[in-house]
Amino acid sequence: MPIDVLIVGQGLAGSLLAWELIRQEMRVIVIDNGRENASQVAAGLINPVTGQRLVKNSDVLDLLPAAMQCYRVLSEVFQQHFFVALPMLRILNNVREQRAAEQRLNQPDYQAFLAAYPDATDAIKAPYGVLRQAQTGYLKTGLLLAHLRNFLIAKASYRQADFNYNELILHPNLSWREFSPKHIVFCEGHHANQNPWFGGLPFQPAKGEILRCRSAAKRPEQIINYGHWMIPMDAQQFKLGATFQPGQTDTRPTELAKHTLLQGIAGIMPGLMPIVVTAQHVGVRPTTLDKQPFIGSHPQYANLHIFNGFGAKGSLAIPWHAKQFVAALQKHALLPIAVNIQRYYETHFLR
């Protein structure tokens, strides 16, 4: 069966890329094993200013409008509310963060994202102060992926299968099983380190655990960011997350992560206690050495591509990068240098 693009992986990267390709009237097949992936359990946070130094994403003026437009269109098409806009209260944890906050509040290019928050109450323990972050929220990733999967199935663009690399024929024409694609794009998350063509890229996978909780106490209606985070849900429920364990790729929940998350929120908001944990989820983030995505084509096999490595910023970054990747695939534009895997050709690929 001749097609334009075969995508391996139906996480957020593969799903949104497939959506963009189909909108460009390209014939797409997504291959996925049907098992739970990191995107399905991810919090889907969108937060343009992150880290202890409160650094604004350098591409946020491109990424944020593209993400909001993408999720708005998806909501209209599927008649579902996928993105929840919520302000975020950033708890400053030490003098260093306090000084960084003072500096950022005086910078004009941060004023659309950060503001002083003098209204903190005794319910939040924040001796170093609180910032209010704007243009933040979270994506209901599990709900969105379920709708996109059904969309792909309805268009005969989805196959549930394990992708066996040994079944891929490169010469004289590209083919996998019954499909003859012009291009194959690997969107495999942290499993890409096993990929025979792209596994040499410097992935740095990190295990993360998230708790779904409830409490009889009144909880804030904002996202609380204190190193970890709390996301308010419906009916006094909320999520706590996420732990960060570099190099860990197993998906077993741990008591240590549960204890760490509960102890953290108890120190910030003791009034929420006692907390009942109703679920514990585990995912492995496909993070990268330089914190930039891995996007581009193999140096020897130009019709093999990767679209991966978005880590914890996927909800913000994927929509814009999907548009750039499709434009590059159609020879309409070049990929941004910062994300193009050409930056690793000399050290991680065939010379």
Mean pLDDT for 247-261 is: 95
Residue 89 reports pLDDT greater than 70: yes
Calpha distance 248→258 (Å, rounded): 16
171: DSSP letter: S
Binned at pLDDT 50, 70 and 90, residue 188 comes out as very high
Calpha distance 281→304 (Å, rounded): 33
pTM for the predicted model, two decimal places? 0.95
pLDDT at 167: 97
pLDDT at 351: 42
Q: What is the mean pLDDT of the chain?
A: 94
Phi, psi of 337 (to 5 degrees): -60, -40
Model confidence pLDDT, tens digit, residues 297-350: 999 999 999 999 999 899 999 999 999 999 999 999 999 999 999 999 877 664
Would the CA dihedral through 159, 162, 167, 173 be positive or negative? positive
pLDDT at 322: 98
Amino acid at the residue 140: K
Domain positions in the chain are 2-42+142-202+289-348, 45-139, 206-285
Model confidence pLDDT, tens digit, residues 129-140: 999 999 999 999
Model confidence pLDDT, tens digit, residues 63-84: 999 999 999 999 999 999 999 9
Binned at pLDDT 50, 70 and 90, residue 203 comes out as very high
Residues 6+ apart with CB under 8 A from 91: 124, 126, 128, 130, 224, 225, 226, 227, 268
Q: Are the C-beta atoms of 229 and 213 separated by less than 8 Å?
A: no
Domain 2-42+142-202+289-348, architecture per CATH? 3-Layer(bba) Sandwich (3.50)
- In DSSP terms, 107 is beta-bridged to none
Q: Can you read off the two tokens belonging to residue 291?
A: 């914190």
pLDDT at 115: 96
Phi, psi of 253 (to 5 degrees): -70, 150
Q: Can you read off the two tokens belonging to residue 93?
A: 């944890």
Residues 6+ apart with CB under 8 A from 214: 235, 236, 237, 238, 275, 276, 278
Calpha distance 56→48 (Å, rounded): 6
Per the listing, tokens 């999520």 go with: 239
Phi, psi of 192 (to 5 degrees): -65, -20
Report the top-level CATH class of 206-285.
Answer: alpha beta
